[in-house]
Amino acid sequence: MEALKGIRILDMTHVQAGPTCSQLLAWMGADVIKFEPPQGDATRGQLRDIPGADSLYFTMLNCNKRSITVNMKSAEGKTVFVDLLKHCDIVMENFGPGVLDRLGFTWEKIHEINPKIIMGSIKGFGSSGPYAEFKAYENVAQAMGGAMSTTGTPDGAPFVTGAQIGDSGTGLHLAIGLLAALNQANRTGQGQYVEVAMMDGVMNLCRVKFRDHQRLTRGGLSEYSVPTSQGMGDVPRAGNDSGGGQLGNAIHCKPHGPNDWIYVVVQEAVWAGLANRIGAELGLPELATDARFALIGDRRKNQNDMWGLITKFAANYTKREFMAILNPIDVPCGPIMSTTDLANDEHIRGREMYVELEDERRGKWWNVGMPIKLSASPAKIERAPFLGEHNDDVLMNVLGYDAAKVEAMKVAGAFSAPPKKA
């Protein structure tokens, strides 16, 4: 049996942050009803690669859901919403600030309609504080949560990371909050409001940078390859430094293309083995006892020389060949995998982390699989719904409306596009 079987979610989320969360919960077995405005989640049409088909942006974030379209700006649409609230365990949204309140549905009102329902909200900056009224997208959250100021090199521009820590990262945080609230509601019979701000989520993922922020009041950061000193204030961008207690860096390999790199961690315990292996080939048989690198403190101080020697060695090997040298001597390392590498990777395929799907409009396509593996509840990934595909199904089978009622609501505008703003 699926872990969340029997849990029904009214999913008003759009774009990426919310849909990431509801897709994960759907993969765990929840019945997720994607509640869309009549024109649909904007991402259905964004970055479209096949005319007439929903974009990959949409399909990759909305698998295993049902879709219904409801015009919340009509009285009948609001009735459908209220009826659904009474039949769901969770309602979730990631609208801009105040949107649901303007539609007449504050958390207090929703709680009154169904005291056991849990409400999940993602906002850029939460519902309180000077930033509460601002909208946010991924890179805004990365900028304001500390990720950008600490990513890149000190002399260059701050960089965003390719991992969607502002959107998908926040969706993960919300999923954790919703599952905790669900557990509590099962014991108390009372729902609660679960809020995750994207800025907070990013800051949580930058926790070690705030470790370093405080360490800087007492001294430099010896593990950083870039200059640091007591009292310098801001944690600097540190390129590909490891960020942990062990030294690490990206090393360019043969044939020196953009992804011919490997990340190597020179764990304290493996230095002698690594030095013996590379030293022998570089004509430095004494490298393991070389005073510049003998102890961890020496290697920290002289790490740029150490990386230079490792890079010189790596020039004769591809990233995979270098990995094959490092694995037997226990040096933690990982080749930088391109999207092509990953899409074709045997390990990834075996773990069902890149899965093939098919639908009649798009044909075959691929989704990143379910990263959380439950032994008794394996995820079965199904295609994303077409816009409004389940209108009748949900109205009749979840809400028990008869055909005449559905028709009357249709005529009254419950499911058609709201008038344009003046």
Ligand X SMILES: CC(C)(COP(=O)(O)OP(=O)(O)OC[C@H]1O[C@@H](n2cnc3c(N)ncnc32)[C@H](O)[C@@H]1OP(=O)(O)O)[C@@H](O)C(=O)NCCC(=O)NCCS
Which positions touch ligand X (CB under 6 A)? 15-17, 37, 70-73, 94-96, 99, 102-103, 122-124, 135-137, 167, 198, 418
Nearer to ligand X, 31 or 167 (CB): 167
Q: Is the peptide bond before 255 cis (omega within 30 degrees of 0)?
A: yes
Which residues, in sequence order, are CB contacts of 83 under 8 Å at separation 6+? 399
CB of 144 to ligand X, least distance (A): 12
CB of 413 to ligand X, least distance (A): 11
Which listed residue (11, 167, 241, 260) is catalytic? 167
Neighbours of 216 (CB within 10 A): 19
Rounded (5°) CA angle 201-205-208: 140
CB of 127 to ligand X, least distance (A): 11
State the Cα–Cα distance between residues 341 and 349, nearest whole angstrom.
Answer: 11
b/e sequence 32-47, b meaning 16+ C-beta within 10 Å: bbbbbbbebbebbeee
Nearer to ligand X, 95 or 322 (CB): 95
Cβ-proximal residue to ligand X, closest one: 96
CB of 356 to ligand X, least distance (A): 26
State the Cα–Cα distance between residues 108 and 91, nearest whole angstrom.
Answer: 13
Nearer to ligand X, 16 or 22 (CB): 16
DSSP classification of residue 269: G
Nearer to ligand X, 253 or 406 (CB): 406
Structure tokens at 314: 């790596």
In terms of Cα–Cα distance, which of 56, 2, 53 is closest to 28? 2
Nearer to ligand X, 133 or 286 (CB): 133
In terms of Cα–Cα distance, which of 255, 167, 249, 241 is closest to 209? 241
Q: Note if 167 is an active site residue.
A: yes
CB of 80 to ligand X, least distance (A): 10
Region of residue 246 (phi > 0: left; psi between -120 and 50: alpha; otherwise: beta): beta
Which residues, in sequence order, are CB contacts of 24 under 8 Å at separation 6+? 171, 172, 175, 370, 372
Compute CA distances 150 → 96, 165, 247, 248, 338, whole Å. 27, 14, 17, 16, 23
Which residues, in sequence order, are CB contacts of 196 under 8 Å at separation 6+? 120, 121, 122, 123, 170, 173, 174, 177
Nearer to ligand X, 16 or 59 (CB): 16
In 212-285, the DSSP E strands lie at: 247-252, 261-266
65 strand-pairing partners: 32
Q: Tell me if 20 sits within 8 A of 171, measured CB to CB.
A: yes
Nearer to ligand X, 146 or 335 (CB): 146
Nearer to ligand X, 73 or 301 (CB): 73
Compute CA distances 191 → 83, 113, 170, 187, whole Å. 17, 11, 21, 10
Active site residues: 167
